[in-house]
C-alpha cells in the first residue's frame, strides 16, 4: 500500500535583507543624531537604484518605526512632494525628482550618480534657508563616486592630450582677430580692434568693431583656460628641465592679447563687461611676464613722438560720450539733446580732425553741465547751505529732473543768504530774527512754490534758524 505523506502549509521564511536595504538602521540612527533633535523641520533625501530598492527601504523604515519616511517620484505623489510631512524622502532617479523646497539639508547616496545627477543634487542642497546652517552629502559604503568610474560625459574635464591637441586651433582662432602684423605692432592691433563708429543703412549708429572685440574677449579667456590646463604637465620652473615648448610661446601671445583686450575695452568703455573668470585669466597671464627682446630705442623727444590718429581719437571720444549717455542721471531733455548731437556729428560728412574738435567741445559742455547740476562735496559747502538743502529735500522731496534740481539750488542759496542777514540784523534776539526772516521769504516762496509747499518751508524756519545760529564768542 502506497502511503502518501500529508503535507501541511509551508511556513513562509522571510529572506535575508538585500544589499539595497542593509543601511536602513544606520540611516535612521544618523538621521536621529543630526536632524531630529534639532526640531527645525528640515528634510533628508535617500537616492537608491530602482523602484524595488525604494520599496525595500520603505518597508525597513516602517518596520523600525523610529522614522517617518515616504517614497517620492513618478507615481508617488509628485505634486505634493514639497509639502510632504515625512522627514526622509526616498527616490530612485535624481533627474525625475519632484519639486523640493529649500528645507532639503541631507542626501544619502545608495546608488552611483553621473556628474549631471550629482550637480542637480548639489544644487538642491545649496539653496539657502533660515533654519539651514550646513548641508550633508553622504556616500554610503560601496557606492562609487562619479569621478571613480570613468564614464565620460559633458561635465567631465577633457583629457590632457585632447587639451594639448586643441591648443593650436584655439591659437589660430585668437590670432585671426589680429591684423596682418600680428603681435609686432601693438598700436596697429589697437586701431584694428578699437571703436569705429559709423552709420548703417537704416541711419542707426553702429560700432563696426564691436563684434570683433566680443570675440577677442571670449577667446582670450577660453585660450587661457586651456593653456593653463596644458601647462600643468610641463616641468616646474627652475628645475632645469624647461625647454622652449609651444606652450611657452603661446603664453607670450596670451600675455599680448590680454593687454590688448584691456586696452581696447578701456577705449570702448567696455571694462565693466569682464567677469570673475576673465579677471582670473588676466592675473594668471601676467603673473610671470614673458621676456621681450627688442632692439634698443633712443629716447624720443616731443618732436619725435608718433602722430595721433584723429579718426581713432574721435571714435574713442564718441564711445565715452555714448557710455555717459547710457549711465548719466541727467534729465530726459538733456539726454535727448546729447543723443541728437552725437547722431548729427556722425551723419555729417566732417573730416576726422573737425569731428574730433566738435566732440571735444561737446565733452567740455557736458563736463560744465554736470558740475552745474551736481551737488558740491560736503567739505566745499557751508553748513548753512547744507542745512537749507536738507530742509528743502525733506519738504519738497528729492528733485526728479533738471528743472527741479536748479530750483532747489536757487532756493537753498536764497535761504542761506536770508538766514545770514537775519542773524546779522538781530544777533541777540532770535524771535525778532525769525520774524524778519519770515517777512523776507514769504513773498519769494509764494512766487515759485505752491501754497502748501510754501507753508511747509515757512514752518521749518524756526528749526532751521536754531540749527544755524552762530556760536557765541
pLDDT in tens, 40-54: 678 899 999 888 888
Domain contains 445: yes
Instruction: Summarize pLDDT for 347-383 with one digit per residue, the tens.
Output: 888 888 888 888 888 888 777 666 555 544 444 445 7
- Chain mean pLDDT for the chain: 76
Distance in angstroms (rounded) separating the CA atoms of residues 46 and 111: 10
- Among 6-10, 266-270, 284-288, which stretch is predicted with the lowest mean pLDDT? 6-10
135 contacts 72 by C-beta, under 8 angstroms: no
Same domain, 260 and 329: no
Domain contains 5: no
Same domain, 66 and 124: yes
Same domain, 187 and 274: yes
CATH number at residue 112: 3.40.50.300
- Which CA distances in Å does 453 have to 177, 392, 411, 445, 447? 62, 10, 12, 9, 11
- Higher per-residue confidence, 239 vs 169: 169
Same domain, 168 and 91: no
Domain contains 454: yes
Same domain, 331 and 395: no
Instruction: Summarize pLDDT for 92-119 with one digit per residue, the tens.
Output: 888 878 777 788 889 999 888 887 788 8
* Alpha-carbon torsion (405, 407, 412, 413), positive or negative: positive
Same domain, 35 and 115: yes
Q: Residue 215: what pLDDT? A: 92
Distance in angstroms (rounded) separating the CA atoms of residues 273 and 326: 15
- Which CA distances in Å does 335 have to 315, 331, 376? 19, 6, 22
Domain hosting residue 460, numbered range: 378-467
Q: Which residue has the cell 517777512?
A: 439
Three-class SS of residue 46? strand
Distance in angstroms (rounded) separating the CA atoms of residues 208 and 196: 6
Distance in angstroms (rounded) separating the CA atoms of residues 250 and 125: 40
Three-class SS of residue 88? strand
What is the tally of structural domains in the chain? 4
- Nearest by Cα to 57 from 106, 120, 109, 124: 109
Domain contains 434: yes
Domain contains 302: no
398-422 average pLDDT score: 81
- Which CA distances in Å does 202 have to 197, 207, 342, 347? 14, 14, 16, 12
DSSP code, position 180 = T
Same domain, 84 and 193: no
Domain contains 2: no
414-419 average pLDDT score: 84
Q: Could you tell me the three cell numbers for 241?
A: 628641465
**Where in 33-74 does DSSP place strands (E)?**
43-47, 69-71
In terms of Cβ atoms closer than 10 Å to its own Cβ (0-12, 13-18, 19+), residue 63 is exposed
Distance in angstroms (rounded) separating the CA atoms of residues 460 and 448: 17
Confidence of residue 12 (pLDDT cuts 50, 70, 90): very low
- Higher per-residue confidence, 288 vs 319: 319
Q: Which residue has the cell 519738504?
A: 395
Same domain, 390 and 336: no
Same domain, 254 and 226: yes
Q: Residue 66: what pLDDT? A: 76
Same domain, 229 and 128: no
Q: What angle do CA 142, 148, 154 make, to 5 degrees?
A: 130
Q: Could you tell me the three cell numbers for 87?
A: 522627514
Domain contains 319: yes
Same domain, 364 and 415: no
Q: Residue 214: what pLDDT? A: 92
Same domain, 421 and 444: yes
Domain contains 293: no
- Nearest by Cα to 464 from 381, 377, 383: 383
Q: Residue 313: what pLDDT? A: 86
Residue percentage of the chain with pLDDT more than 90: 6
Of 219, 254, 286, which closes a domain? 286
Q: Residue 462: what pLDDT? A: 85
250-254 average pLDDT score: 87
Q: Could you tell me the three cell numbers for 213?
A: 572685440
- Nearest by Cα to 28 from 66, 62, 54, 59: 66
Helix (H) / strand (E) element for 212: namely helix 210-230
Amino acid at each position: 500500500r502506497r502511503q502518501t505523506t500529508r503535507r501541511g502549509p509551508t511556513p513562509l521564511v522571510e529572506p535575508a535583507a538585500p544589499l539595497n536595504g542593509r543601511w536602513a538602521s544606520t540611516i535612521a540612527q544618523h538621521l536621529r543624531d543630526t536632524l531630529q533633535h534639532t526640531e527645525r523641520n528640515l528634510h533628508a533625501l535617500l537616492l537608491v537604484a530602482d523602484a524595488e530598492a525604494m520599496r525595500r527601504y520603505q518597508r525597513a523604515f516602517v518596520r523600525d518605526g523610529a522614522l517617518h519616511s515616504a517614497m517620492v517620484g513618478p507615481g508617488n505623489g509628485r505634486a505634493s512632494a514639497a509639502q510632504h510631512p515625512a522627514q526622509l524622502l526616498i527616490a530612485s532617479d535624481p533627474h525625475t525628482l519632484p519639486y523640493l523646497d529649500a528645507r532639503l539639508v541631507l542626501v544619502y547616496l545608495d546608488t552611483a550618480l553621473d556628474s549631471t545627477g550629482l550637480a542637480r543634487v548639489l544644487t538642491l542642497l545649496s539653496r539657502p534657508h533660515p533654519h539651514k546652517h550646513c548641508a550633508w552629502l553622504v556616500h554610503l559604503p560601496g557606492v562609487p563616486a562619479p569621478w571613480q568610474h570613468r564614464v565620460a560625459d559633458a561635465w567631465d574635464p577633457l583629457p590632457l592630450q585632447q587639451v594639448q591637441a586643441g591648443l593650436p586651433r584655439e591659437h589660430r582662432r585668437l590670432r585671426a582677430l589680429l591684423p596682418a602684423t600680428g603681435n609686432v605692432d601693438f598700436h596697429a592691433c589697437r586701431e584694428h580692434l578699437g571703436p569705429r563708429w559709423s552709420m548703417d543703412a537704416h541711419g542707426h549708429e553702429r560700432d563696426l568693431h564691436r563684434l570683433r572685440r566680443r570675440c577677442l574677449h571670449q577667446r582670450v579667456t577660453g585660450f587661457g583656460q586651456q593653456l593653463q590646463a596644458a601647462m600643468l604637465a610641463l616641468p616646474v620652473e627652475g628645475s632645469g628641465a624647461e625647454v622652449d615648448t609651444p606652450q611657452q610661446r603661446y603664453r607670450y601671445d596670451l600675455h599680448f592679447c590680454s593687454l590688448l583686450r584691456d586696452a581696447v575695452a578701456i577705449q570702448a568703455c567696455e571694462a565693466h563687461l569682464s567677469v570673475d573668470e576673465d579677471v582670473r585669466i588676466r592675473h594668471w597671464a601676467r603673473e610671470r611676464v614673458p621676456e621681450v627682446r627688442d632692439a634698443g630705442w633712443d629716447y624720443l623727444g616731443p618732436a619725435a613722438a608718433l602722430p595721433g590718429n584723429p579718426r581713432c581719437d574721435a571714435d574713442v571720444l564718441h564711445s565715452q560720450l555714448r557710455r555717459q549717455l547710457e549711465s548719466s542721471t541727467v534729465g530726459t531733455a538733456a539726454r535727448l539733446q546729447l543723443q541728437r548731437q552725437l547722431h548729427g556729428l556722425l551723419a555729417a560728412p566732417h573730416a576726422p580732425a573737425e569731428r574730433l574738435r566738435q566732440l571735444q567741445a561737446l565733452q567740455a559742455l557736458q563736463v560744465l553741465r554736470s558740475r552745474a547740476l551736481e551737488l558740491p562735496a560736503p567739505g566745499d559747502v557751508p553748513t548753512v547751505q547744507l542745512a537749507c538743502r536738507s530742509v528743502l529735500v525733506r519738504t519738497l522731496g528729492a528733485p526728479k529732473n533738471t528743472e527741479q534740481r536748479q530750483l532747489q539750488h536757487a532756493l537753498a542759496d536764497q535761504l542761506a543768504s536770508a538766514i545770514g542777514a537775519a542773524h546779522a540784523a538781530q544777533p541777540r534776539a532770535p524771535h525778532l530774527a525769525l520774524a524778519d526772516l519770515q517777512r523776507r521769504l514769504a513773498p519769494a516762496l509764494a512766487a515759485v512754490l505752491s501754497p502748501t509747499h510754501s507753508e511747509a518751508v515757512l514752518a521749518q524756519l524756526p528749526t532751521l534758524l536754531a540749527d544755524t545760529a552762530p556760536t557765541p564768542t
